[in-house]
Structure 1
Amino acid sequence: MPVTVQKQEETGVPAHATASARCPHLGAQYNPFAGPHVDNPHAFFERLRKEEPVTFSPMLGMWLVSRHEDIVAVLKEPARFSNRDMLASGTHLTDEAKAIFSQGFDTRHVLLGMDPPEHTRLRRLMNRGFTAQRINGMAPLIQQRATELVDTFAGNGHADLVEQLAWPLPAHVILGVMGVPSEDVWKIARWSADLHQLLFEHVPPEQQVEMAQGVRELQRYCIRLIEERRANPREDLTSYLVAVEDDGEALTLDELVMAIGASLLSAGHESTTALMANTWKLALEHGLWEQLRDHRERVPKFLEEASRYDSVAHAMIRTAREDVMVGGVRIPAGARLMLLYAAGSRDESLCPHANRLDVTREKVPQHLTYGRGIHFCLGAPLARLQFQIATNVLLDRLPVLKLVPNQDHGTWQSLVLRQMKHLKVEWSTAQ
């Protein structure tokens, strides 16, 4: 396949051949915040891949990129496509909200919104806290917490797997790993939700001040946690980050606050919640629960296939550093691209019958749920481990499970993540 990201001078396309004239209409139909593109965007994504794989969205002010090949090409070119505007893509802040943010720490220190060489240094230091040995060492904590949570509803005959398992488990796990007291879980989760919404959703002006104050409270909490660990180190990830050095250089206070608050406490649980809930929903919708119960070796593969088939991490954003061609379309310097991971992961070029959920595939192709390249998700191994342990606990305790019919899952979507508020299930307590 030809390389799909090219400098303009390599293509011979004249400067006046504007891309917006070539991709006039499908992008204008896309709304990631409401309607069918939230509940099930895949029919629309299929049209994009076939008809307008690179098209402009006036609503978002971004170019939508939907083919796997084009997305990967962009992700592999950080020198041409920057992350610098990643965290300035959601809410248009009011002056009052901006004033509150200006009193706090700059989001330029969040790993997700950084470019090399700053990103390279910070990522290297944080990677040392997520070694395979450290991740595997978290298994007993995850097993204990998942078992305790399932025990609270296993005898009831019904549950909401989002509210009672997929939401509290990752929150307790990441905060436990960071050394945060369990009684602080819920307020930190609330502040984290404020941060995510302001960064990646369209928050009404009347709600912005309260949410901005929540983000500042999260930052203040992180400062107190950092100061306490400097005085009294423990065997937790916060203590590690406070002490870690690279050639004698430690993380700055700004980097610590953003690494702990935004990259770990906030991002460390919301995406895992969405991943677990959606994967369990797919297993139940497609009649695969009993198959997974009887063939536990398929649980890890099913997670990958479900992530390919319906990625909850549905998009990421990049900014073109120069005039380039993406998928045959001219993208001007400074333009932003919305890389539709959920569309690219179901691209027909990846595997046969890509629109089918198939746990028996000999090999699941590499999907985009965790990204690709230098920004590959730092917490992917921990998310996979939590899913596998929690799923096996459910299969042990609730071997015959079914969805409550005609329920409203309360699905909503930000620019980067699709989530459910509810996943109601039922079973016979006489099994």
Structure 2
Amino acid sequence: MPVTVQKQEETGVPAHAAAALRCPHLGAQYNPFAGPHVENPHPFFEKLRKEEPVTFSPMLNMWLVSRFEDITTILKDPARFSNKDMLGSGTHLTEEAKAILAKGHDTRHVLLGMDPPDHTRLRRLMNRGFTAQRINGMAPFITKMANELVDKFVSDSRADLVEQLAYPLPAYVILGIMGVPSEDVWKIKRWSADWQQLTFEHIPAEKQVEMANGVIEFQQYCVRLIEERRKNPREDLTSYLVAVEDDGEALNMDELVMAIGASMLSAGHESTTALMANTWKLALEHGLWEQLRANRELVPKFCEEASRFDSVQHSMLRTAREDVMVGGVKIPAGSRLMLLYAAGSRDESLCPHANKLDIHREKVPQHLTYGRGTHFCLGAPLARLQFQITTNVLLDRLPELKLVPHQDYGTWQSIVLRQMKHLKVEWTHKV
């Protein structure tokens, strides 16, 4: 149903509360941080799509939107649905943590939390640097890194593909693009986790100060990197961003720190780790490994179908700028909306038998994993390239791969991302 402007009713009750009271209450059951909605949210999402496609979550203080058409309509309408509150979605920060973060750089310049026209300007500049030529030029490096990581466990007959491959590889790749020393990878992974968790998870008060200090250390690292590239530019994306101008105006320090630190070094690898691990798990669970090995043309197609079937980028958020109707439900101005990508990508309106993982679909539909509209994921081509190269390396070198039975994948979920801590596999090693 299209999103239409709706005038607020004169009820004497605050609009947000009144609308929530009128709304059915499946949303009250949703918990994205623990329980069955982390392990396998799809039965609940199917119920939402059929019975309450737009419903209120008291726990999150957000409206859940689960149908494909409603989600895409919102994503394509930044004039009425803002991204500006995107980065205030997780932790309720303590005063001490707020004071520490206030010493850092202005997070209003993070691409993910910006609206046009400011977003348009910054995205245009980043697009110019994040070219297809630059991305495709990373293919030899990705192949080399994937083989070196597999070398470390190929003779062991057992491995954890998250810890030993999907976790380190995307970080090394984004550091290579940015021109950051590879020996700094683990520091950046730790700082990135601090930033992401404070932004999108519920972090206990006693852990917030340490994480906030980690965010400031990360920003200071980015400042030193920026200053070094100003003196000694190289052929890397950091040097490009430092030098680029838009109508004679260069990026200021806040914009540079957010573009390099938050948008690239932080966001540039976490979702790719989740994508690779989850897609390999689906291939092994559904007995598709041998089919992929026999027909490598299926690898990119399977990446898209697996992303549609079980999106690790399970949601994104928007804020209503004005009173609107979404899916027949009145949403007051100022309300937060949680767009359930993982639910929308299994909508039957998107493709037949949407609840089936089908590697042989004639055409995989354009799922929601990478978003839509102005905020379509900048790193989608790089994520796809890493998946395809690394999957082919595994198919070449570990053809008889199997899941270790009865394992704990350590699945966890933030507001926006669903990820596994482990993917243990085994194979018969042939000398």
The bucket for the TM-score relative to the shorter chain is over 0.9
Q: Does 1:79 align with 2:79?
A: yes
Residue matched to 1:304: 304
Cα deviation, residue 179, structure 1 = 0.8
Cα distance in 1 for residues equivalent to 2:430 and 2:119 = 54
Distance 1:396 1:304 in 2: 21
Please give the secondary structure, in 2, of the residue aligned with 1:359.
coil
For residues 176 and 215 of structure 2, what CA distance do their matches in structure 1 show?
A: 20
How big is each residue's C-alpha offset from its partner over 1:266-311, in whole Å with a ceiling of 9 and x where there is no partner? 0000000000000000000000000000010000000000000000
Deviations 1:299-341 (A, max 9, x none): 0000000000000000000000000000010100000000000
Give the structure 2 partner of residue 60 of structure 1: 60
Aligned to 2:49: 49
Report the Cα offset of residue 21 of structure 1: 3.1
- In the aligned structure 1, how far is the partner of 2:10 from the partner of 2:300? 48
Q: Which whole-Å CA distance do the structure 1 matches of 2:192 and 2:397 have between them?
A: 31
Any residues of structure 2 matched to 1:267-286 within 5 Å, and which? 267-286=267-286
What does residue 112 of structure 1 align with?
A: 112
Deviations 1:124-153 (A, max 9, x none): 000011111111111111111111111111
Identity fraction in percent = 81
Distance in 2 (alpha carbons) for counterparts of 1:325 and 1:394: 48
Once residues 84 and 351 of structure 2 are traced to their aligned partners in structure 1, the CA distance between those partners, rounded to angstroms, is: 33
Q: 1:335 — aligned with what?
A: 335
Aligned pairs for 1:28-427 within 5 A:
28-427=28-427
Structure 2 distance, partners of 1:176, 1:133, is: 15
SS state at 1:430 partner: coil
**2:8 aligned with 1:6, yes or no?**
no
Q: Secondary structure at the match of 2:297?
A: helix
**Closer, same or farther: CA 356–238 of 1 in aligned 2, 3 Å:** same
Contact 2:179-2:236 at 8 Å conserved across structures? yes
Q: CA–CA distance in 2 between the matches of 1:302 and 1:184?
A: 33
What SS does the aligned partner of 1:296 have? Answer: coil
SS in 2 for 1:318: strand
Shift of 1:20: 1.8
Q: Cα deviation per residue 1:141-187 (whole Å; 9 max; x = unaligned)? A: 11111111111111110100000000000000001111111111001
Superposed CA offset, 1:76-96 (max 9, x none): 100000000000010000000
Instruction: Provide the C-alpha distance between the structure 1 equivalents of 2:277 and 2:204, rounded to a whole number of angstroms.
Output: 27
Q: Could you tell me how far 1:112 is from its partner in structure 2?
A: 0.1
Letter in 2 for 1:232: N
Residue 15 of structure 1: CA displacement?
A: 5.5
CA displacement, residues 91-120 of structure 1 (integer Å, 9 cap, x when unaligned)? 000000000010001111000000011000
1:430 deviation in Å? 1.8
Q: In structure 2, the residue corresponding to 1:325 is in which secondary structure?
A: strand
- Count residues in correspondence: 426
CA distance in 1, matches of 2:250, 2:142: 30
Distance 2:49 2:91 in 1: 28
Q: Which amino acid aligns with 1:418?
A: R
Structure 2 SS opposite 1:319: strand
Aligned partners of 2:245 and 2:251 also within 8 Å: yes
Distance in 2, matches of 1:95 and 1:130, equals 38
Equivalent pair of 2:219/2:261 in contact (CA under 8 Å): yes
Find the residue that maps to 1:425 and give its secondary structure.
Answer: strand
CA distance in 2, matches of 1:289, 1:157: 17
* Aligned partner letter, 2:426: E
Give, as a single letter, the amino acid of the residue that structure 2 aligns with 1:146.
Answer: A
- CA distance in 2 between counterparts of 1:168 and 1:15 reads 55
Give me the whole-angstrom Cα distance separating, in 2, the residues matched to 1:395 and 1:122. Answer: 39
Structure 2 residue ranges without an equivalent (≥5):
none
Comparing 134-143 with 382-391, greater Cα deviation is found at: 134-143
CA–CA distance in structure 1, aligned partners of residues 402 and 396 of structure 2: 15
Q: State the SS of the aligned residue for 1:177.
A: helix
In 2, Cα distance between equivalents of 1:310 and 1:106: 34
Give me the whole-angstrom Cα distance separating, in 2, the residues matched to 1:314 and 1:375.
Answer: 15
TM-aligned CA distance change 1:159 to 1:326, over 3 Å: same
Q: CA deviation at 1:245?
A: 1.1
How far has the Cα of 1:22 moved from its partner? 3.4
Alpha-carbon shift at residue 14 of structure 1 (Å): 5.3
Aligned-partner Cα distance in 2 for 1:47–1:337? 18
Q: Secondary structure at the match of 1:233?
A: coil
User: Taking structure 1 as the reference length, what is the TM-score of the superposition?
Assistant: 0.97
The CA deviation at 1:355 is 0.4
Amino acid corresponding to residue 125 of structure 2 in structure 1: L
Q: Which runs of 5+ in 1 are unaligned?
A: none
